[in-house]
Amino acid sequence: MSHYYSENPNVPLKTKTIDVMVRGERFKFITASGVFSFGKLDLGTKLLLESAIFSRDWKLLDLGCGYGVIGIVASRFVKRVVMVDVNRRAVSIARKNLKINNVENGEVRWGNLYEPVANERFNTILTNPPVHAGKEVLREIVINAPKHLYDGGLLQLVIRTNQGAKYIKGLMEQTFKDVRELSKGSGYRIYAGIA
């Protein structure tokens, strides 16, 4: 069975274009079947973007970028954005969305988790992690984040309150100097871990 966190989703390609307003800015995105979240801006992702901490001189990693919403929105508030996804369809759609939104300070790379940025560091990593991929994937995202963050850098993520929030918070508390809840609402929690 194919999932949005598969390398090659085997569902027929359907696309739908959406217009969204995030952090006071308007964006247009192509969404695609087999890519999270088809036809809409996921509530958790929106809450993450509205709550996220950004700085104009930062380099940001959008881990598991999907169609690119996190990285593209963030590109308006940071210096540089690198977006990665294991899903080849997601990478293709995210690249189209970079062009549609006139993003010149961002790029999309294909690969699993941190592989495409093996020797790079960032000021912040943002992710809406693929909970259904399992605890091992969530664990890898959290415990390997500090290797890709500058000292004082942030891992910022969203998690459903009833789908692993306690597990993720515990992992983050074991991994980071400090963990803060940035926001909660609509059944989601936004956590930031400080490296």
- pLDDT for residue 162: 84
Q: What are phi and psi of 156, to 5 degrees?
A: -120, 125
Handedness of CA 150, 85, 163, 32 (dihedral sign): positive
pLDDT at 153: 98
Give the pLDDT band (50/70/90) at residue 83: very high
pLDDT digits (tens, 9 = 90+) for 133-142: 888 999 999 9
> Residue 2: is its pLDDT beyond 70?
no
pLDDT tens digits, 20-71: 999 999 999 999 999 998 999 999 999 999 999 999 999 999 999 999 999 9
- Residue 189 confidence (pLDDT) above 80: yes
What is the predicted pLDDT for the residue at 127? 98
pLDDT in tens, 161-182: 888 889 999 999 999 999 999 9
**Model confidence at 157, in pLDDT bands (50, 70, 90)?**
very high
The reply to whether CATH 3.40.50.150 applies to domain 15-194 is yes
Q: What value does the mean pLDDT take over residues 145-162?
A: 96
What confidence tens digit (pLDDT) does each residue in 108-125 have? 999 999 999 999 999 999
Give dist(CA 18, CA 117) in Å, integer. Answer: 29
**142 phi, psi to nearest 5 deg:** -75, -50
Give the per-residue pLDDT at 5.
64
Instruction: Give the residue among 12, 11, 16 at the shortest CA–CA distance from 1.
Output: 11
